[in-house]
Amino acid sequence: MKYRTVFDIIGPVMIGPSSSHTAGAARIGKVARTLFGQLPDHADLHFYGSFAKTYKGHGTDVAVIGGLLDYETDDERIRQAYEEAEKAKLTISIFEEGAIDHHPNTVRIKLYKGKETFELVGVSIGGGKIEIIELNGFVLRLSGNHPAILVVHQDRYGVIAAVSNLLAKHQLNIGHMEVSRKEKGEQALMVIEVDQNVDESILEPLENLPHITHVTKIHD
């Protein structure tokens, strides 16, 4: 992981004590909330490795819950996240898991709202930086540090070109793009990080393209 400035190393303005275990965890929770698009009724938090061993002392649990409540990393309400979740009728279950290969600071978040479910695996890599490495079964790499568009689509010829052409028409510069699919010809996920925030007006034309089933965005 390369850091662009000294502030990336120091970490973000945050509720302590740890940029990795607290600020990064809060950002993972907030990305999960953004992609789910609503406050869940229930969340299962599976902590792995270092997260599983230290989450109580470092406030990783309250940080993730604060993120799910849509709080920023410096929001004082994170300290009372359990109480705030209870007020919001959000129930939480926590599971302590063993070590995992890719990174010790890993959390799997499962969200539920009625019949809707959502699953995300996030990693806190230091200095408040994160990576989303799995989304609803799709393997991907999303930093969460830049505005991004996520496009669920059928794995068909021309879909990627159509999306790229539409973004070019709206003068959005692509910084990183990758596509994940479970099987050839089935559902796929396109992850596009761009250089500027994405206006809501772009999402509808994207969803109207052939073979696109869902489009969402996150901001940095």
pTM score, whole prediction: 0.83
> Above 60 in pLDDT, residue 130?
yes
Output the pLDDT for position 144. 74
Output the pLDDT for position 2. 43
Percent of the chain with pLDDT over 90: 66
- Over residues 30-46, mean pLDDT: 95
> Above 90 in pLDDT, residue 160?
yes
Put the strands of the sheet holding 148-154 in their side by side order: 174-181, 187-194, 148-154, 212-218
Indicate the average pLDDT of the chain: 87
- Over residues 151-158, mean pLDDT: 95
Type of residue at 187: Q
Output the pLDDT for position 54. 87
- Over residues 32-37, mean pLDDT: 93
149 Rama class: left (phi>0) / alpha (psi -120 to 50) / beta: beta
Q: CB neighbours (10 Å) of residue 162?
A: 16
Sequence-separated (6 or more) residues with CB below 8 Å from residue 120: 28, 31, 32, 35, 108, 109, 111, 132, 134, 135, 136
